[in-house]
Structure 1
Amino acid sequence: MKTFAVLLLLLLQAQQPVFRANVNFVELDVSVLDKNRRPALDLTAADFTVLEDGVPQKVESFERVVLPDPEPAPTAWWTSVAADVERNTDTGAGNLYIIVIRVSDASLRYRVKEIARRLVDRMGPGDRMAVVHTSFSGNSQEFTSDKALLTAAIERYTGIDPDPLLNQPGSSVGARSAPDRCASLSFLEMVRDLARLTSSQTGRRKAAFVISDVWPPFFPAHPCFNPYLELFAEAQRAHLNLYPVNPRGLTGFGDVTVESADAMDGSIAALRAQVALERTVAENTGGIAITQTNLFDENIERAFVENRGYYILGYHSTNTSTDRKLRKLSVTVARPDVTVRSRSGYSVRRPAERTVAALPPIVANLDEATRAAVPATALQLDATAVPFRGPKGPMLAVVAAARPTIEAGGSAVQEAVQARATLIDRFGEIKETAERRIGSAVGEADGRQAELRIPILLPAKPGRYQVRVAANSAASGKTGSVFVYVDVPNFSRERLSLSGVAVRVHPDSPTLALPALESIFPFVPSTRRTFRSTDDVEAAVRVYANRPEGQASLTCRIRNAAEAEVSVLERVAPQGETSNPAGALVRCPVPVAALAAGHYLLEIDARAGSRSATR
């Protein structure tokens, strides 16, 4: 099979661990590391001892979780070219990771970016990651497995953070006098809310790497104390391990002496308090504090290694009280020369205060599937979003391809699929939403799984968007969702621009007609990016020129995994059509029959005089 990027990410699947909880049933994810800091994965339930407030607890459930290591990228462009088709089958059963960036010193921005890129590089099959900027939420990236999108979000970090922590009296981490308010309350609440957001994702281990050079003070008289306790409680309930990462590295105490400490505003005390606080955050949530070290790669590797092999222990607490007091936990194993790591405690919500229960495997409606932190997977779903210039401004042709479950060799069944596309800007505001429904008899054909395509049009101003696509199968009641990321060009301002790439495949799945799209592309775009040698495949774009500098020419170029050009096709846009509102349609056949099996990248370059554009 040939795989093109215009881009498909192939991810391994793994058995999904299941976390459970009720009022007095407690589950712990526990890492056990040998003397070489590798997971010790040959233990049994009998090897573990769990103490809650010093009282032994009976381990009633036991599971060993081993996830595959990251595979090397098949080619250099694999992590730099964002996928134009997203699939909820790519979510796998890996871990959820969050990178939080909050740094007070702009001079650290290059190191911050390098650390964050290392974290992205360590993602394994099935993992999903989000990037959160506390300075400007519009630069953030929601959960995705696409390393190119994550890297782009990291590159948007400016090094400027408006957090008032360092400018508030008594807010230095080493200060022991309390100000009137917690200057960094919004930061602590944001991390707490991230824990709440991930609490419903019960089938994955979760970790947040908080890259910050300063945390607010933590002592009982300080107004940040209770927000810290709330943060710890939510992280413990959500099984979210926090990994504070201080990008300053190994600072030591420099030339600061005890005699000069007072003159330097208690620098030594502040530094020691900062390190202790970072370790406190990690110990209370099951993470590791990466602080006072320049060995970032080594410590990141250590964190990811232990998150790929661990145990899930469950027990009914002998303490049936529903008070909210912190319960201290201790986990040990009957084996020498190992290190055991887990959260150090938890607190219980009263039943009346419990939050919304975890989402079931089958999400029952499109609203829940659209709001969820990660895509719903009960109904297999692919989606793409192709920007183009419409009569009244930029538009997105969103295509959802649903694959209902049909028994192999079974007869065709009548199916109806309702699909919704929701356009969300980079500030999280919903800009547009639309729904369509398709009904058809579906069954397995030509050895391929049945599929129904539903095109939806959305108006979109120039900018970067997330398109959340959700679909529901009437035959099975199952719902799936997928999140697509797209940049919409300013077609009316750019001298030369291209629409998104629309791919036609024959034979392809049944599709709902969309008359408004027929004048733009003579076919409904396909979401398929893996082809057989017998398939008829072509790519098409619209070329737009404002004040054209001559006739536009295009090059359709295909590169293989070794980055060698294996196909180059020259095309010329029809004379005069590029300046029309609809632009000029240019079609590039893809010679799949002449290509060996492997991964390929399709690029389309346009030139007109001194102007150029690329897709």
Structure 2
Amino acid sequence: MFLALPLAALPSAQQSPPVQPPAQQPPAQPPQAQPPAQPPSGQQQPPIIRRGINYVRVDAIVADRSGKPVLDLTQDDFTVAEDGRPQKIESFAVVKIDEVAQAEGGPMRAIRSDYDEEREAARPEVRMFVILLDDYHVRRGSDQAVRKPLIEFIQNQLAPADMVAIMYPLTPVSDIRFSRDRDSLISAIDKFEGRKFIYEPRNSFEERYAYYPAATVERIRNQITMDALKGAAVRMGGLREGRKSIILVSEGFTSMLPAQLSDPIAAMPGYGNPYRGNAGAPPPTDTQRMMADSDLYTDMRQVFDTLNRQNTSIYAVDPRGLGVFEYNINEGVGLQEDANALRANLDTLRVLASNTDGRAIVNRNDLASGMKQIIRDASGYYLLGYTSSQAPTDGKFHEIKVSVKRKGLDVRARKGYWAFTTEDVARAEAPSKPSVPTAVATALNALAAPSRGRPARLWTGVARGDNGATRVTFVWEPMPAIPGEPQGDAPARVVVTATAPDGRALFRGPVPAGPAGGSASFDAPPGQVQLRFVVEGANGEVIDSSVEELTAPDFSKTTLSIGTPRVYLARNAREMQALMANADAAPTADREFSRTERLLVRVEAYAAGETPALTARLLNRGGQAMADLPLHRADAGPGAIDLPLSSFAAGEYLIEINAKTSSGSAQQMVAFRVGR
């Protein structure tokens, strides 16, 4: 292929500086004049971790002519050159995994927490693997064929200390969890189901583009899988320094669909496509294919760059084994076009593997032997590091050549790296951003509380009541229906029970639904209040329940305090006028709005002997001020903020409300999201 030639040179690992220094200093390396110590298994010394803008790390796999690993070399046996110029090796380590000693050492510690994961990943004898089950690029049927080799790999090839995570293209990076529980890993593999060329949406994210053209959806799927590869590499790179492996189960990326599958609406196969099943459809031109390949390989280069920075290799496994056809016979794709597509898709797997120092396990029915090679590569290698004498900041590719002085040995190492640009260096060396203030983080946490799957939104606020009591207001709203998801019973009312710490009932009663939910208020003594909410359907059946612990402030004794800000939603000018005229209107429990809407925020501040001065600011999610907000107040009444959202970009924001008197100040924050 035209673009495969220049991209065969791979980007590799130039390291970015860490955000924070390591918590512990690793043990020092032995002097260069001495051979590396070979400690007993389980006591292997971790490599020195050095980082910097110009520090380059490369791992080298050395084997003899029979393919047997050679692990008795010293630092003096290696030479490293960058763009033909010799480099000084500054760090050197031999990584060798003794599986027999691990098996004899008894059971390994289970991974039950983030702390366990980080501690175990830092051990040099632990190998790390991510198995990416690329359901977007695996056909139905091929998924069944690959399950057995993967399960045998889990059962027979892994050492007791090995850590494995299984993910899909849409798995969030935060959900990538490593495990030693072989049964759970096998169970996850058993559930693998390919969806190649099947565009029926399975979640709200896929619903966003399900009705795009099939060619567009295929490009989106390519990008999602590539982002998953990058995310997995970054996740593993944050856990350890040494070599890491991603096992990509995929049939390869499709740069261009044939006319027979290029449906105008992906979720409606064949609709509006005159070439569906027609073997006489015109094939794509060379120019069209070249442009599509160019876009695909440009995206793949970003994958190479990220994985090599994180010292992570891709082992691409084609589940079809010895593939003969790319498309099914009933799809009507011509033999020549089918052969070209099969070759192009397999080339994407080969390029991914070769440019990350991995292997492409393709065109073979015996996948087990290829899986064994993955283990061999991760079981013995050399980890070398040097500071580039050229210190490039040109953003260009720089070739690395690793060689050994001993004759008759084969060396596999990364071919090079893409240097940082001047802008990259400036960003990396810039001081870290200040941490988010605690008040901002607390407000955003309330915004991030999960609501999916719940039948109603709830909000609770406090204000000054009568005779020293605290007025507690409760509001609930039914959750809107989500298209494409099954709908449960509609909520008809919420039963609220408020109790004091001594078990005394403060309030109990149903809050029926009004035009947009319901609200209720009651007075409670200052102190702890437990609120229990039971959402019921029209026939009294319990749909949902929750408990909230509330601290009712003593507004009569504090020098200065602010009640809970109340947010009201208006969709037009008439609704806004009605809200401003009605001081008893119920606030909204929602905190996600669209740019066509308008907010009214009311807030009360209390102080003894004087009227507090109120001000308000708009903040971004980092806590930085964006603008001062006009706050209108009549005499000593509540302050009001009129906030149109038409000029807001999609994102999360906060309203900071400050009250001030001669004796002190107080603050409240309200977080909300724009983008619906």
The structure where helix makes up a greater share of residues is 2
Structure of greater relative contact order (alpha carbons < 8 Å, 6+ residues apart)? 1
The structure where strand makes up a greater share of residues is 1
Structure 1 or 2, whichever has the larger Rg, is 2
TM-score tier by shorter-chain length is 0.3 to 0.5
Normalising by structure 1, what TM-score?
Answer: 0.48
